[in-house]
Amino acid sequence: MSRKRLRLYLVLATLVVLGIATTLVLRALNEELVFFLSPTQIAEKQPDAGRQIRLGGLVEAGSVEKSGETVAFSVTDLSSNVRVTYRGLLPDLFREGQGVVVQGAFDGNGRFVASEVLAKHDETYMPPEVAKALKESGRWQETEGKGTAQPVVTQ
C-alpha cells in the first residue's frame, strides 16, 4: 500500500470514528439540545414547580386575555395545552395561531408563569397580498404542532 493510499484511509477512518463518536454524544445529549418542550411532553414529564423550562407551541386561537400589563394565553400542540401568564412586552410577531417559545416555571397551582416570550416563525415567506388571497380562497391550513399556521403554497 502506498503512503498516499495509507494516508487516505487514515483520514477516512478518522472521519468515520469521529462521526460515530459525535452521533453518540449528540444522542446522549438529546435532552439538553432540545430548545423547548411541547405541551404534550410537559404533560408526560410533570416538571416540579419552580423548575425553569421552555415551552413551545402555538398560541391557541381565542385564548389570549389581557388585563393591564398581564397577559394570559394557552400554548397548544393541538393535543395538549398549557395555560401561561406573562407580565411584560410581547414580541411583534406574537399573535393567535403563531408559534411561541416561552421560558418560565410552574407555580404551585399548575399555572405556567413565563419570564420571557419569544415568537417562533415558520419557514414560509410570501407577500401580504398572496397571504390574503390564500386565506380568502380557503387554501390556508393549520399544521399540527410545529411552527405556525401555514399556508399551502401551490405554484
Query: Could you list the residues that contact other proteins (CB under 8 A)?
Result: 4, 7-8, 11, 14-15, 18-19, 22, 26, 30, 33-38, 56, 90-94, 101, 116-132, 146-147, 153, 155
Shortest distance, position 150 Cβ to other proteins, whole Å: 8
Side chain identity, residue 80? S
Give the nearest distance from C-beta 109 to other proteins in angstroms: 27
**C-beta closer to other proteins: residue 87 or 132:** 132
- Residue 48 burial by Cβ neighbours in a 10 Å radius (0-12, 13-18, 19+): exposed
Nearer of residues 31 and 109 to other proteins, judged by Cβ: 31
C-alpha distances in Å from residue 21, one per residue of 7, 10, 13, 15, 33: 21, 16, 12, 10, 16
**Shortest Å, Cβ 137 to other proteins:** 15
> Dmax of the chain from CA atoms?
77
Q: Which is nearer to other proteins, 31 or 48 (CB)?
A: 31
> For residues 47 and 91, which CB has a smaller minimum distance to other proteins in the complex?
91
Pick from 42, 50, 144, 153: nearest CA to 97:
144
Nearest alpha carbon to residue 62 among 53, 51, 73: 73
Please report how close the Cβ of residue 69 comes to other proteins at its closest, in angstroms: 16
